[in-house]
Every structure is written in C-alpha cells, then in structure tokens.
Chains A and B, each alone.
Chain A
Amino acid sequence: MRVTNVDTVTQAFEESDKDQPWKELGLKEDEYQSIKDILGRRPTSSELAMYSVMWSEHCSYKSSKIYLRQFGEKVTPEMKKDLMVGMGENAGVVDVGEGLAVTFKVESHNHPSYIEPFQGAATGVGGIVRDILTMGARPVAVMDQLRFGAPESADTARVVHGVTAGISFYGNCLGLPNIGGETVFDKVYQGNPLVNALAVGVMKHEDLKLAKATNPGDLVILFGARTGAEGMAGVSVLASETFDSTGPTKRPAVQVGDPFAEKVLIECCLELFYAGVVAGIQDLGGAGISCATSELASNGGKGMRVQLQDVLLRDDSLTPEEILMSESQERMMGIVPKESLEAFEAIVNKWEVEYSVLGEVIDEDRLYINWGDKEIVNVPPRTVAHDGPVYNRPVAYPSYQDALNANSSSSLKRAENPAELAAQLLAILSSPNQADKSWVTAQYDKYVMGNTALAMPDDAGMVRVSEETGLGITIATDANGKYCQLDPQQGVKLALAEAYRNVAVTGAKPKAVTNCLNFGSPENPEVMWQFKEATQGLADGCLELGIPVTGGNVSFYNQTGDVAIYPTPVVGVLGVIDDVARRIPSGWQDEGNNIYLLGETRDELDGSAWAETIHSHLGGKPPIVDLKKEEQLAQLLHGAAIQGLIESAHDISEGGVAVAIAESCLRFNVGARIWLGDLIDRDNIDMTAALFSESQARVLVAVGREDDVKFQALCEARGVPCVRIGVTDKESEALEIQGIGTMQLNEVREGWAKALPELFG
C-alpha cells in the first residue's frame, strides 16, 4: 500500500507558512532560511529531508571545507604528475605504472559501530569497498584502523567483539584480504570508539569511472539491494508527520549488511564497466538516493527527472522522505545511455541483480522528483550536493594546552638497575597497545586472492597488482592520538612520518596520501583549533615530502558529553614497489646478521608508550619530526632494497628500540645479542632513552655479513647515521641485551601474546 498523503511542490506554494521540523532534522535557522531563499518558497518535506541530510556535517563538510582546500592548494606540478583523480571524487586515483592505476580511501563508521558494533563495522567495510568500486576499480584489499576504550572496561569487550567480528564477517565473505591496520586502546575512546575502514582497488587507466551524469537522455537506474527503512532514525520526525498514529513510528538507526549481495554487485559492476554500458556511476551510502541523484546531476552540470515510486522497496509503507534518506546497503546508481539499456539488462539479469529505471538525465539545471503524478522535489541539484553552507567556525587555543605541554616526562622516575629495565621492557611489551594483535587479525583472511606479499604483523600491507611483472603496492596507516593531543600540528606530521616510514621499510616508494580525520565537536572552538592545526600540519607535511593527498574523510562529534576524543587524524600512505619479490621482511630470519640502528636517538619520552605504561603519564611535547630525514631514510631503504642489501627492516615507533627489537625477534623466533653502549655514547643518552625513546626517522635493519661494507658505504653516501647495535643469533632462542640480561624468547613471547586473549578471549 503506497503512501498517498505527500507534501507536494504545489502545496509548498499554497501552504507557504506551514511549520516544518527543520530543527529536529539538525538544520540551523539560517540554513532553513537559505533553503527558502534558494527555492523562493518553503521546501516540501521531501526537499527538507534531502537538504537536511546533504547539508549535515557528515555529507557537506561544512566545518572542514575551508581547511581541506589546502590539500588541493599545497601541491607542486611534480606531485600531481601521477595523480589521475584528486580530492572531491569518491576516492583518489594514482597512476602506478604499467597502465595500471590504484584507488584508495579511508572512511569512518564510528557512531554506528558504537550503537551496533557488528553491523556498524561490517557496513563500514561494505561502504568503503563500494566507494572504490565506483571509481571503476576491482577492490583488492581492506584495512581497519580501530580505537577502543579502556581494555578492562566491560563495554570495551562488547565493542571489540562486535567490531572485529563484523569486519571479519563482511571482509571474509567478500573474499578481500585484510592486510593491516591499527588497534589502539585508550579511555578517551570509551564512549566513542573509532572504526575507520580503508579499501584499495586496482584498475586499468581506461576503466576509470566518474560519478557524473553528463548526457541528457541517459537513463537513471538504481540497482542492487532493495530499499528499506534503514539508518534513518533521524528522518522519523518527518515520518511521524506523515503517518497517522497507527503507522510505524520508530525506524531503526542502523543498517544491516549483506556481503554476498555486495560480492555479486562487485562482479556485476565490473562486468558493466568492461562492457562499457554505464556512462557514470555512484554508490549509495550516507544520504542514499538524495546524495546519488543530486551529486550525479551536479557533477555533470545537468539535471534529472526521477519517478520515486519506481524505487524497488522491501516494505511498501515507506514514505517518499524515507526512501530519499534510506541508507540501505549494497545499492548503486548507474547512468546508462538508452541504446545500452538492453546490454545493461542482460548483465544485471545474469547476476540476478534487481534494478529499476527511475528516470533520465535532462538538459536543465533542475532535479525533479515525482511521487506518482505529484511533484515532490524541484531543486537546483548543485544547491543540494555542493553549494551547502560553509562555516568558518571560531577557533581557540585550548585552555589546558600550556599546562599539558609543561608537564613533561622528564621528572618521571627511571629504572635504576638491569632487573627494573627488563621488567619495564616486558611490561610495555605486554601492555594492550604494544601486545600481539593476532587475536584481532587472526579473525581476518589475509591471503585470499593469493596476492598478499606482506600483512600484519609487518609494518605495512603489500599486495601484488600485476601477476606478470610482480608490480605491487604497499599501504600503511598511522595515527597517534596522544602526540596529537600534545601538539596537533606536530602530531599529524608524526602520523604521516610513521606511515611513510612504514611504507619505506618494505622497500616500496611512498607515492600518495589519504586520511580520516577523527575529532570532537566542531562547535567547540578548542576542537576546531586542533582541526585547523592538524590539517595545516598534514598539508605542509605532504608538500615537504612531495606526495599528494588524494582524498579523505572527516568525522566530527566524536565526544561524550563535553569530553572530546584525542584528535585522531589517521594518515594512510600508499607506496609502489616494482616487484614484490624484492620486498623487505620486518623480522629477523638468518644467523649472524648485523643489526643496525639508522637515525639519531634523542631523549624523547613525552607521550611515549613508556610514559603511559610505566607511569600513566601524558604530557610534554611529542618527538621532533624532520621530514627531510624521513625522506633520506626512505631513499636509502629503497636503494638498499633494489640492491638487495637488507635482510630485514623494522620501523621504530611506539615503545622505541626495545619494542622494535622484541618484535623483530618474535616475528620468526630468531634471537639476538644486543649492545646499546655505542648508541648511548654517540647520542649522549641514558639506557632508558636508548630503549624506550620514540625519536623519529629511525629504522632497525639487519644486514648479512657479505653486504656489510656496501651497506655502510651506502649509509655514509646518503648521510644517514648508522650504528651497529647487535647481531642475530638464531640458535640461542634468547634475546640478550648487554647490561640488562638474557631473556628466553618464549618468556618474552608469553606476556606479549597472551595480553589480548586474556582480556577478550
């Protein structure tokens, strides 16, 4: 039974002063007024639904837009050389050579994953995969960046179990390898876990697709899953207006995903692309049909005429407003030339994908949507999709910032004897943030598709994209919320530096950047200051490293009451490697390799894992970042990889040299003898700093004896400081650190491996 009492454009003219629930839909009074100014009348309730959702922070980027522009401005022609599609599209596209292009993006699904962790995280994976597919690419891998509350809290277990199970369910069913990511625990994320999902896809240059409707007469086709009442608790205020008291009033706020439907949709879309029957395509995610119709029309500079009653529904009682806003998953909107309709139908029928023709592209700057014979939407598409409000929100230097920065870790008590140092090392290694993440990553399929060259626990994920030549891509993502709380501008550069370094240690060449900026409320000037600092830092950092930002996502309002999360800008770096067979592993494997520490070590323990784990302390200034040195280091590693001089390389970050050494041992169960005396003398630091300092631009490498001379010469030529700190000892099955003692690897492994299973197993 179709809804009949709808608010029409005619009524909007006739009942011009009708009260409308703009406030309940999240619009501000001046925003409601500008809608009226644009239309020259009050909006219909369907138009109100569209504007309210498209002008929301999530869809319009109204608070972040003025800052995100820098990513497009702070670029050189050299940086743009390989960038085929930049900011603003569904995902950025980078030329990786051999006629292939790669598209990648991270998106947040934070709030849904707190309400319903399993489905929230699952549909987060589904959504980002469709973004990648929309560009014309075959999705080839996913990664997830997770931040949870305090590990011992009961609610954390609920979220952790749901989120990891949801990710593994959706990703494993799709048959996409999950090649890495992050798992971090901190009480600031208690009421606001962060679930960011990254996907990467590969295509031939000529298969690139854009979300555009440029050709009048082309058909607008919705295909994939049917539309139901999902993810639209917000719109129920409109529904309750339309329904009488007996009708459904409470619509679910969450979406349920169906990965098998998505898998079919992927294959169906790829076949449609290869057959050349779609002129433009857009996935349906947030804001559903409102977003897809207005963006396709606006991007193409054209209009559209749509019959909303032709949308295939799961439930006939849906109102037009609900249909426009529904976030049902696994749907796509295609723009299909009339002469290709038959070919289109043959392909979607073959895949048993349902579709319906909703209307056509018109040569007019107007989006007309009808409900039967009643016109319910008549708007300029650009005003919905792109010309939403833009805010320059007030910024204020946080009142707590100076005190936080003054409270440095220098007064914290340091270990006084070898036994205490050893105990601290084991404590840090078995703390949830440094411990083995296998409990999480073992739930994911890392090797499906057969192209995974590196995955967790390596520093970065690597997949082969050409089976003929071995061409591959590497992706690493990083964010350190503690560093960003201490200094957002520096903190985001540190995230960039670490992701860049993590790509470099695999032997790949860093090439492009994506991001997912997780912050508190933009209406809090202190949060806005953090955002301003972070975006500036990231844009400047990318310019300095010469790698472009290809796209990204902003997630605001991550806070509980007045308390915001730490600013958590996740930075993803994509690298390219000519042949994955030349990748550098992260752990030690051979007997008698010399272990070198590259880079300089300072006494930098503010915001470190040591300060957190041993002293529950956060304060001071984050480590110094020097991107020129990061670049030098990356070039050195790339050169050494090509010459095959390095047996392994491992990034040094949280937990310092101590954690890097332990992880290098545990990766393949190969022991080592370590002496830090030369390092301590050269850099004038103490044992605590040598072990736990988080100084940047440092990498631990293992070099075979036969390559030793060549390698040292290379370091000297490139001006990278290099000190030998030990030698691998395969037989010993122990880690001996001079001045601290000898630890059996199985003892080291025990605490590291059991931390997460004990909390969540």
Chain B
Amino acid sequence: MPKIIVEIMPKQDLLDPQGKAVANALHRSGHNEITNVRIGKRIELHFDRAITQGDLDAAKEIASSFLSNDVIEDVVAITKED
C-alpha cells in the first residue's frame, strides 16, 4: 500500500522525559554504551493509489501545521513508500 511516512522528534534543546526514562532503564540493565535516548513519533498516511508530488507537498503542510506542535517538536523527515 502506498504511504507517506512522517517522522517527528522533540526539539533538540528540550527535555524529552520519555527518552530520559528509557535511557535510565537501559543503563540499569547494563547498556552503558548508550549515552542518550530521544523518542519521537512515526506517522503513516495511507493512500490507495500512487503518491504524487502534490501529496508529498500536502503531507509536508499537514506535518508542520497539524501532526506536530512546532513550539516543541520538529518534523525531521517526510518519505514515501510505494
């Protein structure tokens, strides 16, 4: 199924409590080689036809205005899968 994948991460400068909690848990279980964890989200937009450039442009707009909160998050990637 054709889909557009939007990846969103918390802004680099902001605290990511979820990532911090997971990093602490990893350290407790011995994975000390991992220095930090940050957790974002992956959103799939599905289509029942081939994806056009117009769809990608629209997805870009949706990603920044609707799917993410630009005060605390960044859209880091928008890709398509056929």
Q: Which residue of A lies closest to B24 (CB)?
A: A352
Q: Kindly provide the distance from the CB of A350 to the nearest chain B CB, expressed in whole angstroms.
A: 15
Question: Binary interface profile of B, 1-29, with partner A (CB < 8 Å = 1, else 0)?
Answer: 00000000011111111001100100000
State the CA gap A253–B24 with chains docked (Å).
27
CB contacts (< 8 Å) of A260 on chain B: these are: 17, 21
Q: Which residue of A lies closest to B13 (CB)?
A: A229
- Please, how many residues of chain A have a CB less than 8 angstroms from a CB on the other chain? 23
CB contacts (< 8 Å) of B24 on chain A: these are: 352
Q: Kindly provide the distance from the CB of A303 to the nearest chain B CB, expressed in whole angstroms.
A: 32
CB contacts (< 8 Å) of A248 on chain B: these are: 12-13
Q: Which residue of B lies closest to A226 (CB)?
A: B15
Q: Would you call A252 and B17 a contact (CB within 8 A)?
A: no
Chain B binding surface SS class: loop
Q: Would you call B17 and A258 a contact (CB within 8 A)?
A: yes
CB contacts (< 8 Å) of A225 on chain B: these are: 15
Q: Would you call B13 and A116 a contact (CB within 8 A)?
A: no
Q: Kindly provide the distance from the CB of A253 to the nearest chain B CB, expressed in whole angstroms.
A: 8
- Please, how many residues of chain B have a CB less than 8 angstroms from a CB on the other chain? 14
B32 at the interface (CB under 8 A from A): no
Taking a contact as CB atoms closer than 8 A, the residue among B17, B20, B71 that contacts A254 in the complex is B71
Q: Which residue of A lies closest to B28 (CB)?
A: A352
State the CA gap A258–B10 with chains docked (Å).
14
Q: Would you call B17 and A116 a contact (CB within 8 A)?
A: no
Taking a contact as CB atoms closer than 8 A, the residue among A252, A329, A352 that contacts B13 in the complex is A252
Q: Which residue of A lies closest to B11 (CB)?
A: A252
Given A258-B20, A260-B21: A116 in contact with B69 (beta carbons within 8 A):
yes
Q: Would you call B71 and A228 a contact (CB within 8 A)?
A: no
Q: Would you call A258 and B72 a contact (CB within 8 A)?
A: no
A2 at the interface (CB under 8 A from B): no
Taking a contact as CB atoms closer than 8 A, the residue among A115, A230, A256, A315 that contacts B17 in the complex is A256
State the CA gap A57–B69 with chains docked (Å).
29
The CB with the most chain A CB atoms within 10 A, among B20, B21, B24, is that of: B20
Q: Would you call B20 and A252 a contact (CB within 8 A)?
A: no
Q: Which residue of A lies closest to B69 (CB)?
A: A116
Q: Would you call B21 and A252 a contact (CB within 8 A)?
A: no
The CB with the most chain A CB atoms within 10 A, among B12, B13, B24, B72, is that of: B13
Given A228-B13, A228-B14, A228-B15: A256 in contact with B21 (beta carbons within 8 A):
no
A414 at the interface (CB under 8 A from B): no
State the CA gap A253–B72 with chains docked (Å).
9
What are some 14 contacts across the A-B interface (CB < 8 A)? A116-B71, A119-B71, A228-B15, A229-B14, A252-B11, A252-B13, A253-B71, A255-B15, A256-B14, A256-B72, A258-B15, A261-B17, A261-B20, A315-B12
Chain A residues within CB distance 8 Å of chain B: 115-116, 119, 225, 228-230, 248, 251-258, 260-261, 314-315, 328-329, 352
